[in-house]
Structure 1
Amino acid sequence: MGTWDIGPFDNDTAADFANDLDDAAEGERERLVRGALMRAVDNHDYLEAPDAEEAVAAAALIAAQCPGGEPVSLHYGPEKPIPRMSADVRRLAAEALDRVLADKSELSDLWGAEEGGRWRGSVAHLRRLLDPASGAQGDALFEV
């Protein structure tokens, strides 16, 4: 796993996803983001780490558009703007993060006890931005 920190674009797969977004035509970027989220949500078997990493990165792009959202990494995130996403993509992003943090998720398994709490806390923060009503439950489950 080529990972250097806990942020949504702090791994090779997410950085490559950002490059794919930059290379895509403006009208294709939403389709790429939606596709990354759908791969996670639609996976009912074992969610492999690369699909989970792309889903977290895509969800971070959506969370950045929410009230209180922060811009994604300028070093590894996409350089070109992501179009304003529809409300259904926001719900899809929240579902994708739930799936990444659920059982049968390689990425969740890879983040062990030492740094896992910090990583889970950062993903839970994105989740709260996407769906503030889930905040209390998310805080209890992913407290650092």
Structure 2
Amino acid sequence: MSLFAKTSRCTICPVTCGEVLADLRTMATWHFGPFDNDDAVDWCSRLESAIGAARAAIVRDAMTVVTTQRTGFSDAEASEALAAAATVLQVMSGKADSRSGYAPRFLLETQDVAGTPELRALAVAALDAIVADGSPWRTRWMHDVEEDDAIDAVERMRSALDVGEC
């Protein structure tokens, strides 16, 4: 039996242990920025560990998942695609858009990810999929106190990418 499937009641408090453990294994999100969650941080770590052209593939692949599956992607995949789109914005603008310490600023010093019109269009499509009604990312933020801020942040990124402000 899995540790997370345990359903015995705690003898100290009125909670089911499985409920508490399920809460512990969910992704941590500490703010609404594109790099402010565990999945984005893990993705950025993989991006930094990659070399050369592999970095561009990691960025492209993260966004392709959400654009090809539309609503069949996971919350983790949405978080990675959001981080990838923010990375595209950073590469195209030449400046780190996020204040997060986890943003891939190391890319500003390389040519590993080239800001092309195709990559920009993919980032816009990924952001559209992420904020679409019913998407896992949108569901995660539903009824959260920062829901409007999170959506606004994505829409600002999309606008900057879409109209070429970067």
Q: TM-score, normalization: structure 2?
A: 0.73
Return 5+ residue gaps in structure 2 as ranges.
Answer: 1-26
Moved >3 Å (runs of 4+): 65-74
For 1:61, the aligned partner's letter is T
Contact 1:68 1:129 in 2 (8 A): no
- Other-structure match for 1:51: 77
Return 5+ residue gaps in structure 1 as ranges.
Answer: 134-144
- Other-structure match for 2:123: 93
How much identity, in percent, do the aligned residues show? 32
Q: TM-score, normalization: structure 1?
A: 0.83
Contact 2:67 2:129 in 1 (8 A): yes
CA RMSD, aligned part only? 1.9
Matches within 5 A, 1:24-43: 24-43=50-69
Q: Per the alignment, do residues 19 and 90 of structure 1 end up closer, same or farther by CA in structure 2, a change over 3 Å counting?
A: same
Matches within 5 A, 1:129-144: 129-132=160-163
Distance 1:45 1:29 in 2: 25
Q: C-alpha offsets along residues 47-79 of structure 1, whole Å, 9 cap, x if unaligned?
A: 310010001000001112345964344511225
Alignment size in residue pairs: 133
Relative contact order, CA 8 A, sep 6+: which one is greater?
1
Q: Does 1:108 pair with 2:138?
A: yes
